[in-house]
């Protein structure tokens, strides 16, 4: 299966899985990383872009 198709499949699977957030257990180390990234975003030390823009950039890089 070509990589772009794998990525599309992964995205579809994530949409399905994330529709039931109570079923997904998040480990503490992951929460810690998310907290750190939130602090970075709130401080303005990182650039924030829209998720749709980010996905488009990723797709362009893999073509």
What is the percent of the chain where pLDDT is above 90? 83
DSSP state of 21: G
For 9-13, what is the mean pLDDT? 96
DSSP state of 27: P
Distance CA 37, CA 24 (A): 20
What is the percent of the chain where pLDDT is above 70? 100
pTM: 0.49
For 34-60, what is the mean pLDDT? 94
Average pLDDT, the chain: 94
Q: What is the pLDDT of residues 20-44, one digit of tens each?
A: 988 888 999 999 999 999 999 999 9
**Sign of the CA dihedral with 45 first, then 49, 55, and 56 last:** negative
Q: In this structure, are residues 11 and 4 in contact, taking their beta carbons and an 8 Å threshold?
A: no
């Amino acid at each position: 299966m070509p990589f772009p198709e794998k990525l599309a499949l992964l995205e579809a699977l994530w949409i399905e899985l994330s529709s039931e957030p109570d079923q997904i257990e998040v480990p503490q180390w992951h929460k810690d990383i998310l907290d750190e990234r939130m602090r970075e975003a709130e401080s303005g030390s990182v650039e924030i872009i829209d998720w749709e823009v980010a996905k488009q950039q990723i797709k362009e890089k893999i073509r």
